[in-house]
Structure 1
Amino acid sequence: MSDTLEQVTKNRKYRELVLRRKQCTICQGVKNPAVILNGRYDSNHINPWTKWHGNLNAKVLIIGQDWGHVDAFIRNKGQVNPLNPTNNKLIEMLALIGIRPEDTYLTNAILCMKETENLSGRTKSAWYRNCGENFLKYEIEIVNPKIIITLGVKPFRTIKRVYNIRCSNNLGDVIKEKPIIINEAKWFPVYHIGKLAQNSRPLEKQREDWGRIKNFL
């Protein structure tokens, strides 16, 4: 009975958080999915990535940078393409640690869509700060995962700021250290798995980084 009550509470808190996201107008330079084409392609999830895989009981919670820009959101009708190179690579990395994508909770450090037409366009520190403090922290509390994985420098620094964690600001240094504990979860910052990030961390090295996570599952 207690497990059922816990699940009901978790679902309610998530719905309330999604409603807050839909109503959020804090940031400038991004658009909330709820106002893009009057919410035609928005969903009852915090983010399109979460709509793809958003298991509220997941042991592994993964945080990316941002989903993309407004035009891409409209073009894809708010849907995730599993064959997108980054998503494809994520599935491969998850397989290395023995985790199915459907057993994860995926979200982004920025929940709204950039107004720029460049998928890899610049992001503002205020966007990370606002989403981190108002949404990301609560997502982590609701899911209560065992493992948190941040993809790339910006999500890494967002979590570092939100939880006031004292560690190096250099992602490469932190990857080599023991996982940091956040709400009893082990936090593993890794490099982004997109093609551009492979210039900073070759794919083979990234596979080693992910393989290390498996020892803690």
Structure 2
Amino acid sequence: MKSISEGMTNFYRRLTSDGYHAEDVNPALKQVEKAARMEQMRRRILACTDCPLGECVQGRVPGTGSADTPLMIVGEGPGEDEENWGLPLVGISGSLLTLILNKAGIRREHVYFTNVVKCRVTNEKGGNRTPTLEETKECSKYLHYELELIRPKVVLALGKVSLQYFFPDMKTMSQFRGNVYEYGSIKIVPTWHPAYVIRQRGDALAKTKREVWTDLQVALQCARRSE
């Protein structure tokens, strides 16, 4: 089977030899190559058995959404609904996040959603738990590849696991959310994971909802300035 790079080279030669201009061919082939590499990555994730999680989970959950968006949203890992449906951030917390995005005028399909860990991690009772550092390290190669392919201008980092992928020394979300950090050419905006927001009550709920909304506005402003 020929590689994607070989395919693009062959397609370029054929199209230019048929009289199509290079300035038209190159952008088209870049789009095709990106789509092919995204699908290749999705298949690798679905077949992954690189760590013990991959040997026992019901299903792996690749990222999804626009591959041309300036905004990527990164959570920590799939929950039960995400595992069952094969999509990131579609459970109750993802539904809350989508509601917040809609309130800000952003449709879900215009954003790229993914998690640091692509498999659901559970405790002894079968409930969700936070991924360990070892699990995060083993799976983070896929997020690294997603960042390379999509090249977002801004990442909204949901929760501590996501924040620590980018900045391992940042231990507490309360200390670092509300600010913008540089990760190479990408701006990182940390905020509370919507699952954390849902667990709050009373004044704490009102406070975390307000903070997530504020952080999202900061991320969107950064994305718009990059256009």
Q: The TM-score by the shorter chain falls in which range?
A: 0.7 to 0.9
* Cα pair 2:89 2:95 within 8 Å, conserved: no
**Rounded Cα–Cα distance in structure 2 between residues aligned with 1:22 and 1:170:** 32
Structure (1 or 2) with the larger CA radius of gyration: 2
Determine whether 1:78 maps to 2:86.
Answer: yes
Question: What residue in structure 1 maps to residue 115 of structure 2?
Answer: 108
Specify which of 171, 186, 196 is matched with residue 169 of structure 1.
Answer: 171
- SS for the counterpart of 2:44 is helix
- The 3-state SS of whatever aligns with 1:189 is strand
Q: Equivalent residue for 2:54?
A: 31
> Deviations 1:46-102 (Å, cap 9, x if unpaired)?
62xx3xx42111221111111124xx567x4536795x4212211132234432111
CA change 1:126–1:81 in 2 (3 A) is closer
Normalised by the length of structure 1, the TM-score is 0.74
Q: Say if 2:199 is the partner of 1:196.
A: yes
Aligned to 1:95: 102
**Matched-pair contact (CA < 8 Å) for 1:96–1:211:** no
Note the C-alpha offset of 1:109. 0.9
SS at match of 1:148: strand
Richer in helix (by share): 2
CA contact (8 A) 2:155 2:187 kept: yes
Q: CA RMSD for the aligned pairs?
A: 2.9
In the alignment, which of 27, 31, 54 is matched to residue 7 of structure 1? Answer: 31
Judge conservation of contact 2:75–2:162 (CA < 8 Å) in 1: yes
Query: Structure 1, unaligned stretches of length 5 or more?
Result: 162-166
2:63 is the alignment partner of 1:57:
no
Q: Give 1:31's aligned amino acid.
A: G
TM-score (norm 2): 0.71
Higher relative contact order (CA 8 A, sep 6+): 1
Matching of residue 158 in structure 1 with residue 159 in structure 2 = no
SS of 2:194's equivalent?
Answer: coil
For 2:43, the aligned partner's letter is: L
Report the counterpart of residue 182 of structure 2 in structure 1.
Answer: 181
In 2, the alpha carbon distance for the partners of 1:120 and 1:151 equals: 16
Distance 2:89 2:181 in 1: 32
Contact 1:152 1:190 in 2 (8 A): yes
Secondary structure class of the residue paired with 1:2: helix
